[in-house]
């Protein structure tokens, strides 16, 4: 029997009282996107047995890195041939420098969880802090905390695509 599961993620990046001065630009439509996708799925000719919606509408921790990854793993858990899975993401993305040989352009594409700190400006430079930078740990201009919180395309592939059995579909 074919199982259907959907994970809908929407992050508006609402400022909080403990936010740093710099933050990701607040978005206004991510929650609406998730609600519209849920409405579409509930009215479609086929139905999804399980749908989880994660937003920062009432609790930003729902769209923190660790929780998003746990739900990505839920999406593919016990997946069988013929299962249909859907992932919808509405939020910021980013390209971060990488040395990975899988990236011809030298950049990983990422999604940006709500707990990802905004990259600090580097004095005298418009450039990102390079991968493998030699910044001291206390350097407030280092981008390592930002990079480590993003969810990279290679991670998404490892969690989602590599674990799919043949004839299961992820859209």
- pLDDT tens digits, 45-101: 777 889 999 999 999 999 999 999 999 999 999 999 999 999 999 999 988 777 667
Question: Using one digit for the tens of pLDDT, what is the confidence trace for 31-45?
Answer: 999 999 999 998 877
Local structure of residue 22 (DSSP, 8 states):
S
Euclidean distance between CA atoms 33 and 40, whole angstroms: 10
Q: What is the pTM of this model?
A: 0.86
* Environment class of 114 (CB within 10 Å of its CB; exposed 0-12, middle 13-18, buried 19+): buried
Q: Output helix, strand, coil percentages for the chain, rounded to the nearest 5.
A: 25, 20, 55
Euclidean distance between CA atoms 70 and 21, whole angstroms: 29
């Amino acid at each position: 029997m074919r199982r259907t599961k959907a994970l809908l993620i929407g992050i508006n990046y609402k400022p909080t009282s403990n936010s740093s001065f710099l933050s990701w630009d607040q978005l206004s439509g991510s929650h609406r996107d998730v609600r519209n996708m849920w409405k579409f799925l509930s009215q479609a000719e086929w139905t999804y047995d399980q749908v989880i919606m994660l937003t920062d509408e009432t609790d930003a921790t729902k769209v923190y890195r660790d929780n998003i990854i746990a739900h990505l793993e839920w999406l593919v858990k016990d997946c069988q041939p013929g299962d249909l899975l859907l992932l919808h993401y509405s939020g910021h993305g980013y390209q971060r420098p990488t040395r990975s040989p899988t990236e011809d352009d030298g950049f990983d594409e990422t999604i940006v969880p709500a707990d990802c700190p905004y990259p600090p400006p580097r004095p005298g430079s418009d450039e990102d802090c390079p991968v493998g930078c030699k910044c001291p740990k206390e350097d407030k201009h280092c981008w390592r905390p930002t990079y480590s919180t993003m969810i990279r395309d290679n991670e998404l592939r490892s969690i989602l695509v590599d674990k799919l059995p043949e004839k299961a579909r992820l859209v």
